[in-house]
Amino acid sequence: MLRVYNTMTRKKEEFTPLKEGEVSIYCCGVTPYNDSHIGNARPFVTWDVIRRYFAKKGYKVRYVQNFTDVDDKIINAANKEGVSWDTIANRYIKAYFEAMDALNVRHADVYPRVSENMDAIVKMIQSLVDKGYAYEIPGSGVYYSVEKFSHYGMLSGRKLEDMEAGARVEVDEKKHHPMDFALWKAAKPGEPAWDSPWGKGRPGWHIECSTMSLKYLGEKFDFHGGGSDLIFPHHENEIAQSCACLGDHHAFAQHWVHNGFITINSEKMSKSKGNFFTVKDILKEYPGEVVRFFILQTHYRSPLDFSDERLKEAQTSLARLENTHRLIGELSGKQGDAETAMNLAGEAETLRKAFYEAMDDDFNTALAISQMFALSKAINIYAQEVESGTSFDRKDFDRAAAIYSEMASIIGIFEQETAPAEDELTDKLMDILIELRQEARAEKNWALADKLRDRLKEAGVILEDTKAGVRWKRA
Ligand SMILES: [Zn+2]
């Protein structure tokens, strides 16, 4: 039985899919105006594992994730560079995919963009106006009237009276309530604009997710995800829009899943503090699978503290699991049909059960990974015994190996070709060879220089002459 924490009810609930054997998920995507930072990556890695898990359990998964490609931040970035808004959006959508591919995050089934869904967005706003949930302020735009939706605050647990009292948002005097939010913003000079019944303009932020989830997943779907910073106002407003439009406050998402914050060395990440890490920068230092593994070693709802030290720890831990993965490969050709005293498959089955129980308990990847470590240890011990000449039970070993790889495929590791880490000696030997080749060239001994280069190439090492000197890499 799978139990998932639902932000709406503040408790773990048994998951029953709306449609038997199927799972539908909507996760708020990025606003492509800069490189994704590590905090952006967390929900996508989390949902990637959840999707893999459901697929492994035999569900047909449909996963939708939007791109907010029409937004103030994009327009500002475009104006700053003197390029068009879509140049910025396309550039950072490409960068998003590069970062997520490196983290081994599988692509969504659909990536709807605001700019490609204007008609549907305008239609939904019109429907909210028609039903009396929205009103126009000429010259300013169309606003959602929060007082009209009696369930406003149902997700965040906030009350409208308290919000009004504490409202420090700048109040447009023409708004009916300070918390009323824009569905459509009238165009300002120099901004991209689309046609609408209220004149040229562009949508507010929240309406896109209501429109796109309805379009691609229907009136009701199983999961809505995102970072916990989106609970209010973004997700609260999505609910207000969708449920008012559909005339049913039980419509829209059935389970709300929010991941926790990422802190950097125990501090909140911010550009002004200089502790703002993009995925791209981190990937210069660590393989993508290490970053992914680091994220998954903490339960998705807990805060995740990011530091170089903790990433290094994750790298060491992952290397231990990879060693076992390699060991399994090394033993793959070995024949054996003897009974052994150690019931490896039996132990693996027990750990497999514990792994699934952890995942069934609100997708507890941290606990699931610890089962994988236990299996890794058992396989290592067995492999050692085999090496020391003890008899080998092929069937027993194969079952354990299959369970190990099943766990890995849910966590999403061992799927990338990672360059083997260079040991110190290799580095030193390569330095010596490069030095010798440079000396040969200085003495115009081209035959020797070329011979060194060619022999290294045969051995699978490529030399590159760069401005910073000679570099080497494996072919
Ligand atoms: Zn959203």
CATH architecture, range 308-411: Up-down Bundle (1.20)
Neighbours of 210 (CB within 10 A): 26
pLDDT number for residue 166: 57
Neighbours of ion ligand 1 (CB under 5 A): 28, 209
Give CATH 1.20.120.640 domain extents, the chain. Answer: 308-411
Q: How many angstroms separate the alpha carbon of residue 209 from the centre of ligand 1?
A: 5
pLDDT number for residue 431: 86
Q: Is 305 helix (H, G, I), strand (E, B) or coil?
A: strand
Please report which confidence band the pLDDT of residue 277 belongs to, taking 50, 70 and 90 as the band edges: confident
Q: Choose the weakest-confidence range: 176-190, 311-325, 363-377, 427-441.
A: 427-441
Please report which confidence band the pLDDT of residue 88 belongs to, taking 50, 70 and 90 as the band edges: very high
Cα distances from 237 to residues 149, 201, 218, 266, in angstroms, run 10, 20, 18, 31
Q: How many angstroms separate the alpha carbon of residue 206 from the centre of ligand 1?
A: 6
Pairwise pLDDT comparison (475 vs 185), residue with the higher score? 185
Q: How many angstroms separate the alpha carbon of residue 378 from the centre of ligand 1?
A: 44
User: Which residues, 6+ apart, have CB-to-CB distance to 117 below 8 Å?
Assistant: 208, 211, 212, 215
What would the pLDDT profile of 197-207 be if each residue is shown by its tens digit?
A: 999 999 999 99
Q: How many angstroms separate the alpha carbon of residue 174 from the centre of ligand 1?
A: 26
Q: How many angstroms separate the alpha carbon of residue 224 from the centre of ligand 1?
A: 9
What would the pLDDT profile of 33-43 be if each residue is shown by its tens digit?
A: 999 999 999 99
Q: How many angstroms separate the alpha carbon of residue 163 from the centre of ligand 1?
A: 21
Pairwise pLDDT comparison (399 vs 475), residue with the higher score? 399
Please report which confidence band the pLDDT of residue 333 belongs to, taking 50, 70 and 90 as the band edges: confident
What would the pLDDT profile of 407-460 be if each residue is shown by its tens digit?
A: 999 999 999 875 555 566 787 888 899 999 989 999 999 999 999 999 999 888
Q: What is the mean pLDDT of residues 84-95?
A: 96
What would the pLDDT profile of 249-275 be if each residue is shown by its tens digit?
A: 999 999 999 999 999 888 877 777 777
Cα distances from 279 to residues 41, 97, 100, 229, 296, in angstroms, run 8, 11, 9, 19, 15
Please report which confidence band the pLDDT of residue 168 belongs to, taking 50, 70 and 90 as the band edges: low
Q: What is the mean pLDDT of residues 155-160?
A: 93
Q: What is the mean pLDDT of residues 15-20?
A: 98
pLDDT score of 475 more than 90: no
Give CATH 3.40.50.620 domain extents, the chain. Answer: 3-259
What would the pLDDT profile of 369-414 be if each residue is shown by its tens digit?
A: 999 999 999 999 999 888 887 888 999 999 999 999 999 999 999 9
Q: Which of 77, 61, 70, 75 is nearest to 27 (CA)?
A: 61
Q: How many angstroms separate the alpha carbon of residue 312 from the centre of ligand 1?
A: 33
CATH architecture, range 3-259: 3-Layer(aba) Sandwich (3.40)
pLDDT number for residue 374: 98
pLDDT number for residue 424: 65
What does the alpha-carbon distance between residue 31 and residue 85 come to, in Å, rounded to a whole number?
A: 12
**Where do runs of H (alpha helix) occur along 141-233?**
160-166, 207-217
For the packed helices 365-387 and 288-296, what is the interaxial angle rounded to 10 degrees? 120
Q: How many angstroms separate the alpha carbon of residue 381 from the centre of ligand 1?
A: 48
pLDDT number for residue 420: 54
Q: What is the mean pLDDT of residues 351-365?
A: 98
Please report which confidence band the pLDDT of residue 316 belongs to, taking 50, 70 and 90 as the band edges: very high
pLDDT score of 469 more than 90: no
